[in-house]
Structure 1
Amino acid sequence: MRIRSVPTLLALTALMALAGCASQPAQMPRTVAHVDLDRYMGTWHVIANIPNFLEKGKVATADEYHRRKDGDIAITYHFRKGFDRAPDAWHGKGWLPDPKDAAHWKVRIIWPFVSDYLILALDPQYRYVMVGVPDRDLLWIMARGTTMPDDVYRQYVEQARAQGFPVDQLKRVPQTAAQVGRPGYQ
């Protein structure tokens, strides 16, 4: 198909944008009311997620966040492709589209893909967090350590269910070799 004019190109772009909007959820998931961004920085181990093609099969995963001098957030995604394999990492960045709302980020781990990062639940002591995306097809439950109490995990799963996330797709991420192959784990 040849585009013969700028107006035609603009019209096609507008139609594609509208088609993309049609697939967006009617209402964004609710985020937490307040996040102390400096306190949030550091390492968060992935306890469970809705597996996606980039993370599937990875073990000992963790996200590490640090404030950059320019105000953005440096992101390092740590992982292994097996406990017998060397640790690896991907590097990306995050930023706040609205500096007054630290519960909603934009993140880019693999250029040029940008995604929303919504903090849906956060423990008052910043020990546990649940993060999702607007269309509800991705969800992460994370902790400062490599474990999370079962009652906290169940509470976060129920909060996600109440917000319309497909929690039946959640899988725990092995943080130790002993967890590989256990029921409910990737």
Structure 2
Amino acid sequence: MSLLSLMMIRLNKMQIGVAMGIGAAAIAMNFLSCVTIPKGAKAVSPFRKDSYLGKWYEIARMDFKFEKNLDHVTAEYSLNPDGSIRVDNKGYNYVKKQWKQSIGKAKFVKTPDAARLKVSFFGPFYAGYNVIAIDPEYKYAMVAGNNLDYLWLLSREKDIPAAIQTAYLKQAQNLGYDVSKLVWTNQR
């Protein structure tokens, strides 16, 4: 076999290896960016995106490392020029005595008339953001993440009426959430 033939065989093997590596990376990225909704949960539909935009106060959340020790948490949603939604989360870390801000991007999983979104604060990696309850005036909302580890109660005001809180907690419990793990955000 000539030297040229051996070089061509090596080049073809290298191209196949690169193609397989790219394919594996794409599969891994898709897996890591898995966007789901908890079993039994249904996203609000029809959903009025424009009514949801604006400032929301976090009333309660399942605690996780990105919001650890945060009070006075707000989320502000606005439209980006490309049609995606800008997510601006802010909160005060009462241990470090400093404000923390995270800017992200949300996109609809399918169509904007269903409140199933995916949100990213870290490049190409997305997580589920599912509005599963909202009042008719878009003043109070409950948002589920990918699984039962992520849940938020939101309000346009710094508190939430007891009747709505009770209804949302009951709905969350029926889906399997352990609502005793909720952290109630200090908004005062």
1:77 and 1:11, CA in 2 relative to 1: closer, same or farther beyond 3 A? closer
d(CA) in 2 for partners of 1:66, 1:83: 30
The residue aligned with 2:87 is 75
The residue aligned with 2:144 is 132
Q: Which has the higher strand share?
A: 2
Structure with greater Cα Rg: 2
Amino acid at match of 2:85: I
Q: Which has the higher helix share?
A: 2
Following superposition, the deviation at residue 54 of structure 1 comes to 0.5
The residue aligned with 2:159 is 147
* Percent sequence identity over aligned pairs: 27
**Uncovered stretches (5+) of structure 2, i.e. residues with no partner:** 1-15
Following superposition, the deviation at residue 7 of structure 1 comes to 8.5
Amino acid at match of 1:48: A
Map 1:156-175 → 2, pairs under 5 A? 156-175=168-187
Instruction: Indicate conservation of the 8 Å contact 2:60/2:184, yes or no.
Output: yes
**Higher mean C-alpha deviation, range 136-145 or range 157-166:** 157-166
**TM-score, structure 1 length as denominator?**
0.78
1:164 and 1:91, CA in 2 relative to 1: closer, same or farther beyond 3 A? same
Instruction: Indicate conservation of the 8 Å contact 1:29/1:134, yes or no.
Output: no
Aligned residue pairs total 171
Aligned structure 1 segments of 4 or more residues deviating by more than 6 angstroms: 10-17
Amino acid at match of 1:134: N
d(CA) in 1 for partners of 2:183, 2:163: 16
**TM-score, structure 2 length as denominator?**
0.77
RMSD: 3.0
The residue aligned with 1:56 is 68
1:15 and 1:74, CA in 2 relative to 1: closer, same or farther beyond 3 A? closer
The residue aligned with 1:103 is 115
